[in-house]
Amino acid sequence: MRRCRPGRPLPAFLRATVIAGALSALALAVACSKQPGGDAPPANKRLVVGFSQIGAESGWRTANTKSIKDEAEKRGVDLRFSDAQGDQENQVRALRSFIQQQVDVIAVAPKTEEGWQEVLEEAQRAGIPVILTDRLVRVDDDSLYVTFIGSDFVEEGRRAGQWLADQTGGTAVIAELQGTPGAAPTIDRKKGFEEIVARHPGMTIVKSQSGNFERSKGKEVCEAFMRSPEGPQITALYAHNDDMALGAIQAIAAAGRRPGEDVLVVSIDGVRDAFQAMLDGTLNCTVECNPLLGPQLFDTIEAVRRGERVPKRILTTEGVYDRSQVTAETLASRQY
Ligand code: GZL
């Protein structure tokens, strides 16, 4: 192989070889570097989506998982599903695995707001678009995710607070069961509820503690509320989700008080068990938080793959259900 001395022009045949090599290297680089959203997959290539789910801590989560799996199957998507068992580190590991697998799109329901900056930067460098579902993250730069599909948790907290204010004429001694510490719904549902409480001097929150969105933990914490010095004065229980409210209902009854009567119970999600409790008269109100995000998620993924612009925030639509509105037909009509 002749060594090329610097400063002398290359012979013509060598120039052609160098140019061809450079062009093929460029073509290879372009082919490997996925563009966010970018060029749609060839018609015969199945869309590959990596989804990181938090776990199975509540009826809401179970319904959310089913909605996403059912929709992926319906659309023939190759869904790489990872259940983090409630551990955010497992979610970060799952996203790194999806990047290694070079999936087309990553979707994630992030357990807590913090801890996502680094792995989302890795996904961006790999050219893989990330869609947030259910909960938001806190990062330096929101270009690290394409969009967030989920509910307005602050509004959900306001709706719960407003229902209680309307129901009691603005007078209540409240115990609060918070969700998972550091999770967006916990932070925002507390914020929204407190906005309403602040408008009513007769409403006070005397106990507030996390039940981690779990029924058993909600029962355990509410037992402690009932045993506390403030216990006998509590006239309302606000739970950040139905599962904790259903646990609290057991604790209130065990303390010799009537849930739904002596202690009003208001919560969020709108799962089927909450509608049953409203029919039973032990739950007074649930603010709907729709877990059936599968259709919206895959509509958004397909739009991203077609290279279409999607809004940074996609809101789910929800209502408020008071037990006076609930019948056996309402219960039968619930999809989750
Ligand atoms: C809300 C979701 C919450 C539910 C809980 O979008 O993140 O997590 O309210 C679930 O039931 O555990």
Q: Does any domain span residue 15?
A: no
* 247, burial (CB in 10 Å: exposed 0-12, middle 13-18, buried 19+): buried
Residue 53's pLDDT is what? Answer: 98
149 φ/ψ angles, rounded to the nearest 5 degrees: -105, 115
Q: Which two tokens stand for residue 299?
A: 């509509």
Residue 170 and residue 285 in one domain: yes
Q: Does any domain span residue 17?
A: no
- pTM: predicted TM-score of the whole model, two decimal places: 0.86
Q: Does any domain span residue 19?
A: no
Is 43's pLDDT higher than 70? Answer: no
Question: In terms of residue numbers, what domain contains 115?
Answer: 48-151+291-305
pLDDT (tens digit per residue) in 229-285:
999 999 999 999 999 999 999 999 999 999 999 999 999 999 999 999 999 999 999
Q: Does any domain span residue 81?
A: yes
Q: Does any domain span residue 160?
A: yes
**CA-109 nearest atom, ligand 1:** 7
Ligand 1: residue of 269, 273, 287, 336 to mutate (most ligand atoms within 8 A of CB) is 269
Residue 226 and residue 281 in one domain: yes
Is 55's pLDDT higher than 80? Answer: yes
Question: Could you tell me what percent of the chain has a pLDDT over 90?
Answer: 84
Residue 190 and residue 283 in one domain: yes
- Total number of domains in the chain: 2
Residue 84's pLDDT is what? Answer: 98
Count helices and strands in the chain by DSSP H and E runs: 11, 12
Torsion of Cα atoms, 298 then 69 then 109 then 152, to 10°: 60
Distance CA 211, CA 154 (A): 19
Poorest-confidence range of 4-13, 99-108, 188-197?
Answer: 4-13
Residue 39's pLDDT is what? Answer: 52
**Ligand 1 centroid vs 265 CA: distance in angstroms?**
18
Pocket of ligand 1 (CB under 6 A): 57-58, 60-61, 134-135, 150-151, 185, 213, 241, 243, 268-269, 289
**Ligand 1 centroid vs 315 CA: distance in angstroms?**
15
pLDDT (tens digit per residue) in 67-110:
999 999 999 999 999 999 999 999 999 999 999 999 999 999 99
Q: Does any domain span residue 34?
A: no
Residue 176 and residue 229 in one domain: yes
What CATH number did the domain enclosing 82 receive? 3.40.50.2300
pLDDT (tens digit per residue) in 143-176:
999 999 999 999 999 999 999 999 999 999 999 9
Q: Which residue has the higher pLDDT, 3 or 135?
A: 135
Residue 11's pLDDT is what? Answer: 52
Residue 54 and residue 101 in one domain: yes
Residue 87's pLDDT is what? Answer: 98
263 φ/ψ angles, rounded to the nearest 5 degrees: -120, 110
Residue 325 and residue 193 in one domain: yes
Residue 65 and residue 180 in one domain: no
**Ligand 1 centroid vs 307 CA: distance in angstroms?**
31
Q: Which residue has the higher pLDDT, 31 or 219?
A: 219
Q: Which two tokens stand for residue 5?
A: 């001395």
Residue 98 and residue 173 in one domain: no
**Ligand 1 centroid vs 60 CA: distance in angstroms?**
6
Is 319's pLDDT higher than 70? Answer: yes
Poorest-confidence range of 35-39, 172-176, 248-252, 313-317?
Answer: 35-39
Is 16's pLDDT higher than 80? Answer: no
Distance CA 75, CA 160 (A): 36
Residue 158 and residue 282 in one domain: yes
Residue 198 and residue 123 in one domain: no
Residue 175 and residue 120 in one domain: no
Residue 158 and residue 266 in one domain: yes
Band of residue 26 on the pLDDT scale cut at 50, 70, 90: very low
Question: Could you tell me what percent of the chain has a pLDDT over 70?
Answer: 87
For all residues of the chain together, what is the average pLDDT? 90
Ligand 1: residue of 289, 296, 315 to mutate (most ligand atoms within 8 A of CB) is 289
